Amino acid sequence: MKVRVKAFARFREILGSDLPIEVPDGATMATVLAALRDRAGDRGTAIFDEGGALQAHVILMRNGKRVKRGDLDTLAEGDEIAIFPPVAGG
């Protein structure tokens, strides 16, 4: 199945702005993060630490709602995942 990943600000420059990602049925946020880690490669240090875990400041959303990084819920076809750094509007 396909999910969409939207990345913003510095993370957009690393990952691209709007990515369709193919994941197996039963995939969770961890599956998507693994795909993003591969995609980011050497440029991913703003997002992932040396061990491959998300940096503390990274924010994740699923369909516009904040989710915890360890969220184990199964994703659904067409889900929109967002990944971004701390906000700086105003």
Q: Where on the chain is the footprint of another protein (CB under 8 A)?
A: 6, 8-10, 12, 57, 59, 61, 64-71, 82, 84-90
Q: 9 — phi, psi (to 5°)?
A: 55, -130
Q: How far is the CB of 71 from another protein (least distance, A)?
A: 8
Nearer to another protein, 35 or 82 (CB): 82
Instruction: Name 70's Cβ contacts closer than 8 Å, sequence gap at least 6.
Output: none
Question: How far apart, in whole angstroms, are the C-alpha atoms of residue 51 and residue 53?
Answer: 6
Of 21 and 38, nearer to another protein (C-beta) is 21
